[in-house]
Amino acid sequence: MNKRQALRLMGWTGLAAAAGLGLAACSENKPSFNAVDITGADYAKGFSLTDAEGKQRTLADFKGKVVVMFFGYAQCPDVCPTTMTEMAQVKQQLGSDGNKLQVVFVTVDPERDTPEVMKAYMSAFDPAFVALIPTPEQLAALAKDYKVYYKKVEGKTPTSYSMDHSAASFVYDTEGRLRLYARYGAGVPAMVSDVKMLLKSS
């Protein structure tokens, strides 16, 4: 190998090393979320639904905030109240950044979850939480878009039915981009950490 070839080899080796360091740096800087990172997913891109006050709401209304969206119903005995209680705790633990978190609750039981019911239900956790009440047709379309499951389970009387439904939450960053799929039961500290990272990266 002559001198020119040796210098060329050294140059390529240096570039490869620099590229390797660059890749390592990128990997180290990528947020390590507790929830499932679904950034770039081609679904669940937004909504246009009526809230409990009768106002039309879209994801764009909450720009500048991290949005946590959950599907449930007011008469749910366990998953829904647990999730809403935890989200109230998350907001509290965020301190001054709590006002940069918006919880959105979409009912899968529009038949019983009237505006009055939803107002009272949200107030039990945090009055700033927004409840959305789709029509049955809107709910079916939204569930398809968000890939969520819901099904009516008949009870002893026509009004005592329950609803089976998906229990995860969808998390959007401050620009309204879908970022995380948070499974039920992950806990308050995990969500607090993820929300902080999304706020920091905005």
| Residue 6: burial class (beta carbons within 10 Å; 0-12, 13-18, 19+) | exposed
Q: Which residues pair with 202 in a beta bridge?
A: none
Least confident of 9-18, 34-43, 88-97, 169-178: 9-18
**How much is the mean pLDDT over the chain?**
88
**pLDDT at residue number 128:** 97
Q: What one-letter code names the amino acid at 192?
A: V
DSSP tag of 98:
G
**pLDDT, tens digit (0-9, with 9 covering 90-100), for 153-194:** 999 998 889 999 999 999 999 999 999 999 999 999 999 999
**pLDDT at residue number 1:** 53
Cα 178 to Cα 109: distance, rounded to the nearest angstrom: 24
* Percent of the chain with pLDDT strictly greater than 70: 85
pLDDT band at 110 (very low <50, low <70, confident <90, very high): very high
**pLDDT at residue number 100:** 98
pLDDT band at 31 (very low <50, low <70, confident <90, very high): confident
pTM of the model: 0.84
